[in-house]
Amino acid sequence: MRSGLLLRMRVLITGGTGLIGRHAARALAARGHAVRVLSRRAAPHVSLLRDAPVAYHQGDVRLPDSLPAAFEGCDAVVLSHQFQNFPVENPRRAETFDAVDRLGTLHCVRAAQAAGVRRLVYVSGIALNNPNPPHPGIRAKLSAEQAVLESGIPSVALRVNVVYASDDKYFSRLARAARWSPLLPILGRGQTRCAPVHVDDVARAIALAVERPEVTGLVNVCGPDEVTWRAFMLAVAQAAAPRRRWIVLPIPQPLLMLAGAIGERLPTPLFSRDAVTFITQFDQSCRTGRGCEEAFGFRPQPLAVGLRAAFQRQSPGSAST
């Protein structure tokens, strides 16, 4: 029990070794909950959780028989699973939106129902607010949201905007590159809009969603500053190397599509045309819907503050974990 107000809950996190999942695991453990992480490996090495009281359970959302033992005894489940190399699918290894986001979530919902879970939190995406152009990821996540929200378990779907952190896969690399090169490549024209959110704010929203079963339906998890992708890339670079001047290099859409067509034919796809569409063509603004302030009573930190926290504190040449 925490401060006599909240009972200690047993919380399972699928995708708990990924960016959002591991930060949510740390936040929930810090709030006194018993956290269990579902992982495809029995004992994964997760630097962020090295000193956290977190248990691991081996399983795979694509394999329904691996789930019942992980779900057993849990009060709440956070569904934050995502396939490797997202958003580049690898059909040969069943690492696709349909296999992981749609079908994997359905497997989890059924396991939660059988285990008597009392709360479901699904980590979705803000692009679902603007589902054009058609994309397999949008279709899969809409189906997953429906399965969760119609499960009969008190549920909430968090539609998360672009997430940045010192330990993410993309923006941390951009920040490191910005310290030694003035060249700043931009995918496409960089004019689509987003409201980037720091991973700590996403983790806080997840923790509050677990603890407040009265909050159901859809909640947008967005930063307060809406910018273009070009402006966001420049802001990340500027946070990492404040005194540098940048040479912006837009990569034309046709060239990206050509690279995607080649990349998706490799034995292990490195890029794909669907990934290009996902990255460059979705409006990820937060102009409609309920946000964190209304649902949970807090406002995510401004972009400039979050970027300083994520990237300025790293010394040049330091590696993210």
Q: pLDDT tens digits, residue range 21-59?
A: 999 999 999 999 999 999 998 778 899 999 999 999 999
Please determine, for residue 291, whether its predicted confidence score (pLDDT) is greater than 60. yes
Neighbouring CB atoms inside 10 A of 229's CB total: 21
Q: What would the mean pLDDT of 50-78 be, rounded to a whole number?
A: 97
Q: What is the DSSP string of 106-121?
A: HHHHHHHHHHT--EEE
Residue 67 banded pLDDT, cuts 50, 70, 90:
very high
Q: Please determine, for residue 193, whether its predicted confidence score (pLDDT) is greater than 50.
A: yes
Least confident of 1-15, 101-115, 223-237, 286-300: 1-15
Q: What's the sign of the alpha-carbon dihedral 169, 64, 14, 128?
A: positive
pLDDT of residue 2: 40
Query: Using an 8 Å Cβ cutoff, are 153 and 3 in contact?
Result: no
Q: Which of 57, 71, 20, 17 has its CA nearest to residue 204? A: 20
Q: Which residue has the higher pLDDT, 161 or 321?
A: 161
Does the pLDDT at position 320 exceed 50?
no
pLDDT surpasses 50 at 11:
yes
pLDDT at residue 41 in the model: 87
Is 70 exceeded by the pLDDT of residue 62?
Answer: yes
Neighbouring CB atoms inside 10 A of 23's CB total 26
Residue 140: strand, helix, or coil: helix
Instruction: Name the band, by pLDDT with cuts 50, 70 and 90, for residue 9.
Output: very high
If one counts every other C-beta atom within 10 angstroms of the C-beta of residue 251, the result is 16
Inter-residue contact 208 to 296 (CB < 8 Å): yes
- With tokens 């910018």, the residue in question is 227
Quote the pLDDT of residue 294: 97
- Beta carbons within 8 Å of 201's beta carbon, 6+ residues apart: 221, 223, 292, 298, 300, 301, 306
pLDDT band at 142 (very low <50, low <70, confident <90, very high): very high
DSSP strands (E only) in 103-229: 119-125, 155-160, 163-164, 183-187, 193-194, 197-198, 217-221, 227-228
Say how far apart CA 9 and CA 35 lie, in whole Å. Answer: 8
At 259, is the pLDDT very low, low, confident or very high (cuts 50, 70, 90)? Answer: very high
Q: What is the pLDDT of residue 315?
A: 40
Residue 296 banded pLDDT, cuts 50, 70, 90: very high
Q: pLDDT tens digits, residue range 96-141?
A: 999 999 999 999 999 999 999 999 999 999 988 876 667 899 999 9
Q: What CATH code is assigned to 10-162+197-221+287-300?
A: 3.40.50.720
Q: Which residues of 169-202 are buried (b: 16+ CB within 10 A; e: fewer)?
A: eebbebbbebbeeeebebbbebebbbbbbbbbbb
Strands across the sheet containing 54-58: 54-58, 34-39, 10-14, 76-79, 119-125, 155-160, 217-221
How far are the Cα atoms of 21, 48, 91, 213, 240 from residue 43, in angstroms, in the given order? 16, 14, 26, 31, 34
* Cα distance between the two ends of the chain: 32
Q: Where are the domains of the chain?
A: 10-162+197-221+287-300
Is pLDDT of 258 > 80?
yes
For residue 87, whether the previous peptide bond is cis, meaning omega lies within 30 degrees of 0, is yes
Mapped onto helix, strand or coil, the DSSP state of residue 24 is helix
Q: What is the pLDDT of residues 199-241, one digit of tens each?
A: 999 999 999 999 999 999 999 999 999 999 999 999 999 999 9
| Averaged pLDDT score across all residues of the chain | 92
- Average pLDDT value for residue range 286-305: 95
* 211 contact partners, CB below 8 Å, separation of at least 6: 6, 9, 31
| pLDDT at position 107 | 98
Give the residues across from 57 on adjacent strands.
38
* Residue 180 CB-half CA count within 13 A: 7
